[in-house]
Amino acid sequence: MHAENPILPGFHPDPSICRVGEDYFLATSSFEYFPGVPLFHSRNLVDWEPIGHALTRDDQLPLETADSSKGVFAPTLRHHDGTFYLITTNVSAGGHFVVTADDPRGEWSDPTWIDAPGIDPDLFWDDRGDGDPTVYVTYRGGPDGIEQAEVDLETGALGEPRQLCNRLEGDYTEAPHLYEIDGTYYLLVAEGGTHTKHMVSVARADDPTGPFESHPDNPVLSHRNVSGMFNPIQATGHGDLVQAHDGSWWLVFLGIRKHGGHPGWHHLGRETFLAPVEWNEGWPVVNGGEPVELDLEVDLDVETASPSPEPSADLEADSRWETRDPFAGDELGPEWNYRHNPERDRYELADGTGALVLHGSPATLEDEQPTFVGRRQQHFDCLARTRLAFDPDPDVDVDEEAGLTVLYDDSHHYDLGVVRRGDDGERRAIVRQRVGDIEEITAETALPDGPVDLVCEATTETYRFALESAVDSAEPERETLTTAPTKYLATEVAGGFTGVYVGLYATGHGEPCETPARFESFEYRSTESEAKAEGEMEATTE
């Protein structure tokens, strides 16, 4: 099967994968977003179906004190003896913890907390004995050090910690995963930091506690010396191995897709990629030792009678990740997230009408717990559109606002909002650009009565903000207000570990909103095939 990397586009870093029969399950980091740790299912390693989140309750995921790019870091997802285990770290509240489930699509357990330092915990069961297996938790315990201890998964109690390694090939040794393969124990780690020097290194031993021998040809995966001119995938690292049901081996790992000039920018976040693995003299070889490309061939023998996500008919458009008619049910779909734990009474799905109503809080997008709900931007070329019915009362002394935002974090976002402004209290649309400490209204225009369609059309380099008449038409009239560069919402500008969300918001700028913001529809779709066709047409005319 011909496919394309990334297999999970947009902000999906630190992937961890496990197999149960012919079914594959994958989890990624979520940081300050709620619910936490998105989960996916596949039958072929290429087409991934979102199946929910592991952390869906406030008592599992306290994020009140989580700054941007804090909260929940890298998970490890494993299946043992009929139970799914997920271990991760809330760096803002409590540290390491484990949750379990019989079915990953259902409710996960309350956390069992583990009192160990560091980040990136991994679970491994050693079944060599006659009794219950010994369970090890392995984690980054300090600068460049990977530590390990026995753990009681019922209580979280730890045995005496030991250091397994202190660097293999580079600094920032982290993200350990431990495997037993044909009687040999392999330790997979990430090194070099999670940017352009990122890499995957490996060591092996005769015992899960070591001593570990480093692969003489480490790293087994890195694009640190691969120019972006020749390969758009950069910062590859933080991998997890899986053996497919046909015996083949694969590595899921994170990477970024940079664009622009030097030093380059990436605003979609760290994404999940896939590469084949072979074995040579007992060592893994990723992608034949060559850099990983966007094009990918995956051929697994899958029983077609078993349930599976439908393969994409058009991999460029990648309709699996599009959102249409998202407010028809009694709950939001798995693509939607809040920032921090939401005040749930501020979000109302209007039963039977297909609308989402936001009751804006005093908090703005710069504050904790804003009234915001969004989904990841997963394509460079895409369009987001929402129909908003929002008519702030000019006689109320509240600075009410609601609209559409593209948001990287609390100090890097662009907002297309509806407000009342001026001495006459005229209803207007505004575009606000917030980059660090600088905030400016860059466009505004008067609005007619009634609902309005707010539109953000993205390319690799720009966001274009526009209004459309809220009239059902095959070709509605569109009024462009302004454009803004994508690079100011990139990690290279904003810092952090997340990626851009496209979202809906409402705020009273210090006071509760009295006017509900009624979002009557929302659409997110890829326009990459349209952009490609337009580029080919321009090249032909030239």
Q: Annotated catalytic sites, by residue? A: 14, 174
- How many CB atoms within 10 Å of residue 445? 11
Q: Residue 211 — φ and ψ, nearest 5°? A: -75, 150
Show the 3-state SS of 141-181. Answer: EECCEEEEEEECCCCCCECCCEEEEECCCCCCCEEEEEEEE
3 state DSSP class of 264: coil
Closest by CA to 119, choosing from 70, 174, 187, 81, is: 174
What sign does the dihedral 262-263-265-271 (CA atoms) show?
positive
User: How many Å apart are CA 150 and CA 135, to the nearest integer?
Assistant: 6
3 state DSSP class of 476: coil
What's the chain's length in residues? 542
User: How many Å apart are CA 392 and CA 506, to the nearest integer?
Assistant: 11
Q: What single-letter amino acid sits at 196?
A: T
Residue whose entry in the numeric block shows the structure tokens 């095939």:
529
User: How many Å apart are CA 293 and CA 235, to the nearest integer?
Assistant: 13
By the 8 A CB rule, do 53 and 36 touch? yes
User: How many Å apart are CA 146 and CA 164, to the nearest integer?
Assistant: 6
Give the DSSP per-residue string, 373-438. Answer: EEEE---SSEEEEEEEE----TTSSS--EEEEEEEEETTEEEEEEEEEETTTTEEEEEEEEEETTE
Q: What residues does 26 pair with on adjacent strands? A: 17, 40
By the 8 A CB rule, do 195 and 222 touch? no
User: How many Å apart are CA 492 and CA 533, to the nearest integer?
Assistant: 30
Closest by CA to 203, choosing from 195, 194, 212, is: 212
By the 8 A CB rule, do 90 and 112 touch? no
- How many CB atoms within 10 Å of residue 522? 26
User: How many Å apart are CA 303 and CA 383, to the nearest integer?
Assistant: 36
- How many CB atoms within 10 Å of residue 281? 5
Per DSSP (E only), the strands in 63-144 are 76-80, 83-90, 95-101, 112-114, 119-126, 134-142
Show the 3-state SS of 346-388. Answer: HEEEECCCCEEEECCECCCCCCCCCEEEEEECCCCCEEEEEEE
Strand 283-286's sheet: what is its strand order?
Answer: 233-243, 249-257, 271-280, 283-286
